[in-house]
Each structure stands twice: as structure tokens, then as C-alpha cells.
Structure 1
Amino acid sequence: MVELTVAADAFATHLERVRRLSPATVRAYRSDLRDLVQTVGSVPLNKIELEQLRDWLWRSTQRGDARSTLARRAAAARSFFAWAKEEELISVDPSLRLISPKRGRTLPVVASQDGMRTLLDSRRDAAASGDAIALRDHAILELLYASGMRVSELCGIDIDDLDQDRATVRVLGKGSKERVVPFGIPARDAIGAYLTRGRAALVARTELATPGVFLGARGGRLGPRSVYTMVAKALGPIIGADAVGPHALRHSAATHLLDGGADLRAVQEILGHASLGTTQIYTHVSSERLTATYRLAHPRA
């Protein structure tokens, strides 16, 4: 009989090596299954019953976990036990009747177009000093907003992935899916200035060569956490929300594309969403902004 902890580790390895899910997704599944182990104990896998899984979710509710967390944990359990049955580690799947709570619809936090213009103009002026970090940060903000890419995708970009003539960049998204994303002239100019004047100065700070486009202060490849900190500091005054990171630029890019008349499926391709339903959240943002404008402007609203 296989213990729950052993099976959970094997499942995480399967997600990483066979299904090739992103490191962040694998970490989330590991965390959820670890929480399950803490609740039911390291018992034989075939001894776990539906009521234990329901109790696990109930305890999560009592801790005040968000609906999205509960829904993710239920999905993790269903995926885990379905895999275990396929691997013949269990004969009966106890999660088949495990119901996950519906996610509450939380609209993304989005910057205004005027706010983004002000922010990027100020970063362009700061980069004019020639400081390597200022040049890099301006290029990062322009590219994130122009392309709507994820921060993990940005940090993974190599020099060979950039095509500045065509103003496109090749990125590796979730599930190791590759796509080519366009960006505009301001982003191209900012990236060009950074590569010419900023990156060379950062490369000189280390003896270890890296093909990465965006480098840290010591010359190594820049990590997601550093980008998050920089973007959060830049966006805070513009959006006025706590914990606003790079994903807010992704939300803003998608919303502003739709506001400008972009096709929903084109936005889906640009963002790298597997499902059109994921992209549709931005239509709600656009419609709510339109409604708010109407109510403020129309005399009979």
C-alpha cells in the first residue's frame, strides 16, 4: 500500500516532468497536497474517503481561506486522485463527488491609460541619465505593458528571442508552450537603449556570461521577485492598490487592447491563454469602465 506522502511526491514529479506544468503551478499543487497530509495524516492512499476530503476543505474554510484557494485545492485533489487511479494506486477515486466552491468573480486591478502614460514617460526621463538600472527598468515596464506577458516569461527571455526589426519576442509560457508576442515602438526603443547602454554595463559586473536579456545589479539573470518589487513600487502611486505587481500590467494591457477594439481571440493569443474563458474576464472590466463613463457623462443616465 502506498502512503499519501509518497504518492503526493510522485504526483508532483509527474506534473513537472510529464505534464510539464509551470514551476509555480507545481508548487501550488505540492502546497495543497501537503496541507491535505497535515489534515488526514500520512495514511495509506486507499484508506482516504470522501468525508475526509470534505473535512479538509471545511478546515480550510474555518481558517478564512479565500474561495479561489478552496476551489484550487479541490481541483488539486481531483487531479491527484484521478492520476492515482490511472496508475492503479487506488481502485476507487474518493474525490469524484468532491464539490468545489464557486469562485467569486474578482475583477482585475487595472491602471488607466493616462496613468500608464505618465508612469512610462517618467521612467523614460529617468533612463535618459544613462543609468543601467534605470534603462533596464524602463525597458521592463514598456515591454510588460506592451506585450502583456507574464513576469516568468519576461525573466526567461534570451537575446536570441528578440527580433527588434519586427518588434516581436519569443516567450515560453505555461506548459512550455512557445508563442511570439508583438510589442510597439516605445518598447522597441526602450529595449534598444537598454541593450546598447545598460546591459553592457551590467554584464561587466560579473565573469559569468548569461544569454538573458534582463540582468540584475550583479550581472546575473534577473529573477521574478526583483521584477515584482520594482513594478509594485512603480505602479502603487498610479493604481493606488496594495500588492500590485507585474500581473497588473498584464491586466492593463489586455483591458486597453479591448478598449481599443482588439478582437478577443487576438488578445487570447497575445496573452497565451489556453481558454478563451480566461480572457473574457477583461470584457467585464471594459464593460464596467464603459458603464461608469456613461453614468458620469450622460444627462439621462
Structure 2
Amino acid sequence: MSDLASAITRLEASLSTPIGSSFLIDEAPDVVADLLASLRSPNTRRAYQKDINDFFKVVTNRDPTRDLVLEFLHLEQTQAVRLVLGYKAKLIENKLKAATINRRLAAIKSLTAIGRKIGVCNYTLEDIKGEKTKPYRDTTGVNKDAFTKVLAIADNARNAKSKRSRLKGIRDYALLRLLWGNALRRGELHLANISDFDVAAKTLAIIGKGEDGEKQIIGLPTQNAIAISEWLTVRGETNLDYPLFIAVDNANYGNRLSGNGIYTIVDRLCIKAGIPKKMSPHRIRHSAITAALDATDGNIRKVQKLSRHKNINTVMTYDDNRSKHQEEISQLLDDLI
């Protein structure tokens, strides 16, 4: 029997082992729960939970139980590596994107890392390399004229006869302004509270990507600050601890607007504006960054302040996609003959 088959067999065998013969439920650590509790981002927690579930479903055809996870963490180094390499091979065979494969591997590696910290795992998976990725293949989004049409739809809704439609239009208008004017991520909008907005200073405190809960103060364009102020005025909420953006439908009124809710708003308005490209909050972020590079004649340093990318090479990718240098040089060469 191969090491991979042996590892899978051992994992499956744990399911038929009577509770108490290996671990007592009240003594055995719940390593998955420990891992998820260590993650600050709700989106990351959901993704890692999904990825870990997928790993155990693929290699054992079972959902991960506490004992099953511990059996995996108690494997020998060679068995564990072969098991995970076999899982990776299946992901590649199923033609998953490189980024998806790398995220799933990262979840498993994080699980073993937590296991080592609490003393239930003696091996590492760090020698298993991820797939090479090419980030931001399409960073163009839409141009400013197309986005202006989207913004106009929300702007018109601010004057709707229905109070609910008017409230929704004012909210959506402010949300779109922030996505474009500050190139915000939807998670940054989702987590923002009323107290994070300073109308006098025209600033918004956001929890950026990978900031470990630390808030970053960003300056707002005048129209953005006005749009938020109008939204808060018509909403009439005075509790500063409440979410900045909320759902306004009858079933969910007052609940924090979710990331999926923000996505749905953008998708709906862009379709209504006749934009053929599938749009999302991150596509608007792409659009804003590209437009900023156009407006500053490719001033990467300045635009990095807007995008808040830690690695300036990421901004350069936007600039390369925008500039079409290859096409320009090819034309120069063609003109020489």
C-alpha cells in the first residue's frame, strides 16, 4: 500500500474508533476552532473553514471531526506531505485557479502550524510550494464615463417618491462615491462604523487589508464627505457605534451591510447602467486606481497612497496594463522598416 493510501486509510479508521480509545472529547483540542479564532478577518475565517472542509472531504470523503483532524496532525512527516501533495494534484487536475489552490494549501499549512504550537503536530508542510500566479491580469475595470453612468442611477434614486427607495438611493450614492473616490475594498466599507467618519476633518478610519485590526485614517474628497453626511442625516441614527452602512430592506433593516450586500448593489447598478463587463466592488477599485494613474500621468508613488498597496510592484502592474508599452514599442519597430 502506498504512503498516500496508508494515510487516507488511517484517517478513515479514526472515524470507526470508539470515543475515548484515542482521545477524550473534553481533553482533545479542537485545532480547527483554535485556528479560526486566531484569524481577525471574518472573510478569511470563512475561506479557511471552507478550504479545510474541502481537504478532508477530498482525502477521506468525510467532514472534519475533532478526532479526524487530530489523526491528520499525528501523521508522520512523509505521510502528511504525500497526502497533501496528492490533494494538490487533484486540485490541479480539476483545473482550479492557482490562487485558489494556494489559498487551500495555506489553510492546511496554517492548521498544522497551530497544531505544532499546541503540541499535537510534529511535522511541517512548508516544503510544499504553491502554484505560480500572475496577479491582477485584468486591472482595467471601466473608464470614468462608464462609472459616471452608474453613479447617475443612484443619484437619480435620491429623488425617488418612495421614502424607502430614496433612502436606498442616498446610501448607494455614498457607497459608490467611496468605492471610486478612495478605491476602497468592500471589506473596508463593511467594517466601518459611524464613529469612524469625521465630518469636520473629512476623514474616515478604515481597517485595511492585513492591518490586524489597526485603523488607518484616510482623507475624503469633499463630495464623498457630503454624500456620507447626507446618508447619515436621512437615516437619522445617533448611535456612533452602529455600522456606517446598513441594509434598508424591510426584512433586514438596520443590520450591517454585508460584503455580499455591497457586491449585489454594485452588480445591480452596473447592469442597469448597461456595462457589459461583470462588475464588483473590486472592479471599481481597479477602475479608480487605473483612472488615478491616467490622471497623474503614471505617478506610481502618489497612486500607491490611494491604493494602500504595501508593495509598489502591484501598482506598477496596474500601470503596465494601462500603458500598453509592448504595443507602443512594437509599433515603433514596425515603423522602422
Global fold match (TM > 0.5): yes
Greater alpha carbon shift after TM alignment, 247-256 vs 272-281: 272-281
The residue aligned with 1:168 is 203
Q: Secondary structure at the match of 2:86?
A: helix
Aligned-residue offset at 1:129: 4.1
The residue aligned with 1:115 is 146
The residue aligned with 1:178 is 215
Gaps of 5+ in 1: none
* Contact 2:31 2:114 (C-alpha < 8 Å) held by counterparts: no
The residue aligned with 2:156 is 125
The residue aligned with 1:27 is 46
**Where does 1:34-113 land on structure 2 (aligned, <5 Å)?**
34-41=53-60, 42=68, 43-47=71-75, 48-93=79-124, 95-105=125-135, 106-113=137-144
What is the RMSD computed on CA atoms of the aligned residues? 3.3
* Contact 2:35 2:111 (C-alpha < 8 Å) held by counterparts: yes
Q: Aligned partners of 1:72 and 1:97: how far apart in 2?
A: 16
Q: Aligned partners of 1:127 and 1:295: how far apart in 2?
A: 49
Q: Aligned partners of 2:155 and 2:80: how far apart in 1?
A: 59
Aligned-residue offset at 1:171: 1.0
* Contact 2:208 2:216 (C-alpha < 8 Å) held by counterparts: yes
* Contact 1:179 1:272 (C-alpha < 8 Å) held by counterparts: no
Q: What's the TM-score once normalised by structure 2's chain length?
A: 0.73
Q: Aligned partners of 1:98 and 1:79: how far apart in 2?
A: 13
The residue aligned with 2:259 is 224
Question: Structure 1 residues 270, 238: CA separation in 2 closer, same or farther (over 3 Å shift)?
Answer: farther
Q: What's the TM-score once normalised by structure 1's chain length?
A: 0.80
Q: Aligned partners of 1:52 and 1:155: how far apart in 2?
A: 38
Q: Aligned partners of 2:245 and 2:148: how far apart in 1?
A: 23
Question: Structure 1 residues 152, 186: CA separation in 2 closer, same or farther (over 3 Å shift)?
Answer: same
2:216 matches 1:189 = no
Aligned-residue offset at 1:144: 1.2
Is the radius of gyration larger for structure 1 or structure 2? 2
Greater alpha carbon shift after TM alignment, 269-278 vs 250-259: 269-278
Q: Secondary structure at the match of 1:179?
A: strand
**Residue in structure 1 matching 2:36, options 12, 17, 27:** 12
Q: Aligned partners of 1:80 and 1:268: how far apart in 2?
A: 33
Q: Deviations over 1:42-77 (max 9, x none)?
A: 234121421111110111223332221112222333
Q: Which amino acid aligns with 1:180?
A: I
Q: Secondary structure at the match of 2:225?
A: helix
Q: Aligned partners of 2:208 and 2:100: how far apart in 1?
A: 23
Percent of matched pairs sharing the same residue? 23
Q: Aligned partners of 2:121 and 2:216: how far apart in 1?
A: 38
Aligned-residue offset at 1:178: 1.1
The residue aligned with 2:4 is none
Question: Structure 1 residues 210, 126: CA separation in 2 closer, same or farther (over 3 Å shift)?
Answer: same
The residue aligned with 2:179 is 144
Q: Aligned partners of 1:99 and 1:221: how far apart in 2?
A: 38
Q: Deviations over 1:192-251 (max 9, x none)?
A: 33233x313xx59xxx99622222222333222222111111223454223x22111111
* Contact 1:162 1:168 (C-alpha < 8 Å) held by counterparts: yes
* Contact 1:111 1:238 (C-alpha < 8 Å) held by counterparts: no
Q: Aligned partners of 2:299 and 2:203: how far apart in 1?
A: 19
Q: Aligned partners of 2:323 and 2:303: how far apart in 1?
A: 16
The residue aligned with 2:6 is none
The residue aligned with 2:189 is 154
Q: Which amino acid aligns with 1:150?
A: R
- The number of aligned residues is 285
Q: Aligned partners of 2:47 and 2:255: how far apart in 1?
A: 27
Q: Secondary structure at the match of 1:49?
A: helix
